[in-house]
Chain A
């Protein structure tokens, strides 16, 4: 799962990030007199907006720490490092960040650390690469001239998952690899689902009575895609349609090609166009698209319950 979260940061976080870009760290003074870093948007006690910004030092003291033996993608280092809660001089709360030392033996609570700035600061918490032991930073010189205030941040998210097919999906996917369309129902009184489901949504029971379906059916409804979007594989306009396979009780979403988009209609009879056999895998994309069969349209009565 990979996507970029783009967020507007608001006034308070925006001010903090704009200052970070200039190699400055600020906090806000709360109603109890504490200097809170990073500055919260609202006072933790009174919930009033906090506007009394205070400069704090880029040097501080480790208040707690832990050691990362196996760094994860996205973390500040791809080698072991420490996370620490750091109380910057002038602050009353701690900031979470990485500390660059070689071994856990080099870490201790009370360690004095200083921010190491990125070569190019952009208005993100990652403008601070990490903290390093000592009172003085070996960072590059001060950031350049003032630019527009920071109003947005983008955070990439990249997570991987091992997705497992349910037992019913497994039968369906194996069928596809052999060129078969397999639906299923809970019992012979039940509706035929394509694909079969782990639990029948009408009664919660598994659909374990498998049925091979023909590769032709009826368009129940459709839309003409006119809008280009990222990752699009076909040039618009084209038709995405619900196709009710003969014998199934629920339509499946697929492409209808092989005719002008404006010719596609409810009730149109279509058949699968399979990719060459050597390209088949475990997926419905083995069917490249559906195309009109040329048969007369299906009577509305035959599919009106499956819209």
Chain B
């Protein structure tokens, strides 16, 4: 890095089991406690070693006000802790924590996100992310918004239904049998849509030598940027993602070579095609080795998990350079791109 920023790394990642429905509360406490415990055990730390806490979640998903306050129970807030929250995917909480560490206000941070999508009708709850004046009063649902985006790309010749199925099928999948399946929101079929997933995830960040103490191969964050496109769906080209391109350019300087792994947060198959192109990923990069959001989409944690999985590949030594993308809002409205490397540059 050219500025005098502190070196910051991901040193730990844990996530709750990806399940269609948990027994726990919408507070996330039951899913978060084991995540925190796992991180403490693995890193040999306790709550008091963490300098800053930041979370991402949504009251609409939880069906109650100030749901993140209840989640703070899972941390234990006596003596008082330094804590913050974003009403977005927790990847943005990680961004806030990264800024906190960069500005020298803490040496370690624990970032977490959680969501119990099964508690309500997810596609309906997500309507509340839309413009509340002229769009949300019609109650268009998240599945329909994604369907409009997918159709726009098909009509523009940007991708085919086969391309979408190929994303869902992965390398070894049977694309033809997927194309025989019925539509759920034309032109989306069930496999084009992320499953309903309850989940939670947590990431520990640490600065400089503290990171080296805690982790043999820290995943150094060498770039992180987020951008936003207009919230007016009808005023932007839904088949491209300028905000992803801009964020990716800001962190890669246009050099997208050498990424061993890219974890892209695409809750719909066609969005993976948009993102791959927007970032400019090359052929040698393994995209979503974790399975991506199409296999597990814990709301408000899935973007953080992309950073976690990308970092884990570096910490485990299977990757030297990794890219992670997270999205929040309807139809890829807001996008965050992170670059992680095995050594500081």
Which residues on A are within 8 Å of B, measured CB to CB? 1, 5, 7, 9, 13, 16, 36-38, 40, 44, 63-69, 72-76, 83-85, 93-98, 104, 109, 124-126, 153, 155, 157, 159-167, 169, 197-206
A93 B232 Cβ-Cβ under 8 A: yes
B118 in contact (CB, < 8 A):
yes
A155→B133 CA distance, assembly (Å): 8
B77 A63 Cβ-Cβ under 8 A: no
Contact of B27 among A75, A153, A198, A200 (CB under 8 A): A198
Closest CB-CB distance, B266 to chain A, in whole Å? Answer: 18
B25 A85 Cβ-Cβ under 8 A: no
**Across-interface contacts of B32 in A (CB, < 8 A):** 199
B23 A155 Cβ-Cβ under 8 A: no
A155 B136 Cβ-Cβ under 8 A: yes
Report if A159-B139 is in contact (Cβ < 8 Å); known contacts: A67-B185, A94-B234, A166-B29.
no
Contact of B30 among A68, A159, A198 (CB under 8 A): A198
If over half of A's interface residues share one DSSP class (helix, strand or loop), that class is named, otherwise mixed; here it is loop
**Across-interface contacts of B232 in A (CB, < 8 A):** 36, 40, 44, 93
Report if A64-B135 is in contact (Cβ < 8 Å); known contacts: A75-B140, A204-B36.
no
A165→B22 CA distance, assembly (Å): 11
Closest CB-CB distance, B149 to chain A, in whole Å? Answer: 8
A163→B128 CA distance, assembly (Å): 20
A126 B138 Cβ-Cβ under 8 A: yes
A166→B186 CA distance, assembly (Å): 39
Contact of A65 among B25, B33, B148 (CB under 8 A): B148
A83→B188 CA distance, assembly (Å): 14
Report if A161-B30 is in contact (Cβ < 8 Å); known contacts: A67-B147, A166-B25, A201-B76.
no
A96→B124 CA distance, assembly (Å): 16
Contact of A162 among B119, B141, B149 (CB under 8 A): B119
B234 A85 Cβ-Cβ under 8 A: yes
A153 B137 Cβ-Cβ under 8 A: yes
**Across-interface contacts of A40 in B (CB, < 8 A):** 232, 235
A69→B230 CA distance, assembly (Å): 28
Closest CB-CB distance, A96 to chain B, in whole Å? Answer: 6
**Across-interface contacts of B57 in A (CB, < 8 A):** none
